[in-house]
């Protein structure tokens, strides 16, 4: 078993991009350093924590329910629809196909073979998202983190394991059919929030940006260290998923089992993912038509 231990002091952490000792093909971003903040959300981060991670064959017990929920949601957001589209381990120095093949299957494919992103390039994207989260505390209870995590999850939660359709590979919530699904109401604000990062780093796909932003949100909110791999490709409007693939809060347990079972999750994972609604806030809008602006 490969094991590593990190120490971090929060608030404001400067992330470092390191390969996971448990899986060299799954680089991890984690945090170190600090700076003071005044609002309530950031005060929740003003503590020192000791974090440990190890191989999946001998997982460390979760330190708290909140961290378990954060980890479960982000893992789901990164796995659902994304696992089959990760970069080859060679992206991070291991055995792999040719560089040309990597450019075609990952975010670098967006650059028509001109630019091949490295771990350092993805770290810059992480840093940019983290800076936005810390600089803009005007949303809801003082953080865009929860809604950014919700975007990562909803972009991924449409995955269908049987057909291989939907999920974070494609980022089809960019288009009106899927953006307009009831379950995605309110997520325009998260997509707009991340748009400056996309403009700063045009080579990254939206699928990679949204999921990496979800990782950033979790870790900046003192959640667990999340392994993440790039390689999702953006697709056109024809790949939009049908409405109804995300959970409907008005339905019962059979509906929840059907939705999460479609993605390959068991009951324990379903409960952990559903519990993530405790993160952030829910508030009504005066008019359903204005929900995307809320």
Find, among 242, 118, 91, the residue nearest to 178 by Cα: 242
Mean pLDDT of the region 154-172: 85
Contact, 245 vs 38, CB < 8 A?
no
* Close Cβ partners of 273 (under 8 Å, ≥ 6 residues apart): 72, 73, 76, 153, 260, 265
Rounded Cα distance between 294 and 276, Å, is 19
Residue boundaries of the structural domains of the chain: 119-278
What is the band of 121 on the pLDDT scale with cuts at 50, 70, 90? very high
**pLDDT at position 216 over 60:** yes
Mean pLDDT of the region 117-145: 92
Question: For position 74, what pLDDT does the model report?
Answer: 56
Instruction: Pick the more confident residue, 161 or 238.
Output: 238
Rounded Cα distance between 44 and 155, Å, is 28
Query: What is the average pLDDT score of the chain?
Result: 68
Find, among 225, 200, 294, 279, the residue nearest to 32 by Cα: 225
- Tens digit of each residue's pLDDT (9 = 90 or more) over 35-93: 333 343 444 443 333 222 222 334 444 444 555 555 555 555 554 434 333 332 233 23
Query: Any idea which of 232-241, 242-251, 252-261 has the lowest mean pLDDT?
Result: 242-251
Question: For position 284, what pLDDT does the model report?
Answer: 56
């Amino acid at each position: 078993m490969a094991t590593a231990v990190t120490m971090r002091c929060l608030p404001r952490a400067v992330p470092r991009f390191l390969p996971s000792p448990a899986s060299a093909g799954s680089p991890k971003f984690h945090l170190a350093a600090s700076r003071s903040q005044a609002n309530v959300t950031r005060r929740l981060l003003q503590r020192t924590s000791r974090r440990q991670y190890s191989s999946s064959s001998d997982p460390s017990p979760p330190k708290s329910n909140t961290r378990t929920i954060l980890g479960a949601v982000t893992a789901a957001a990164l796995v659902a629809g994304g696992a089959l589209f990760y970069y080859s381990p060679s992206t991070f120095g291991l055995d792999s196909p040719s560089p040309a093949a990597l450019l075609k299957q990952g975010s670098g494919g967006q650059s028509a073979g001109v630019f091949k992103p490295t771990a350092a390039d993805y770290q810059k994207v992480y840093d940019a998202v983290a800076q936005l989260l810390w600089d803009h505390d005007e949303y809801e209870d003082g953080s865009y983190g929860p809604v950014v995590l919700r975007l990562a999850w909803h972009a991924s939660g449409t995955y269908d394991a049987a057909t291989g359709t939907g999920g974070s590979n494609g980022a089809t919530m960019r288009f009106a059919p899927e953006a307009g699904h009831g379950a995605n109401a309110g997520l325009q604000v998260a997509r707009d929030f991340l748009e400056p990062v996309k403009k700063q780093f045009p080579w990254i796909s939206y699928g990679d940006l949204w999921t990496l932003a979800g990782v950033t949100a979790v870790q900046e909110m003192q959640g667990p260290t999340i392994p993440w791999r790039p390689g999702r490709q953006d697709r056109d409007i024809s790949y939009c998923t049908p409405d109804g693939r995300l959970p409907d809060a008005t339905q019962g347990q059979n509906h929840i089992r059907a939705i999460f079972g479609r993605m390959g999750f068991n009951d324990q994972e379903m409960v952990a993912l559903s519990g993530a609604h405790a993160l952030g806030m829910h508030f009504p809008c005066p008019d359903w038509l204005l929900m995307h602006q809320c």
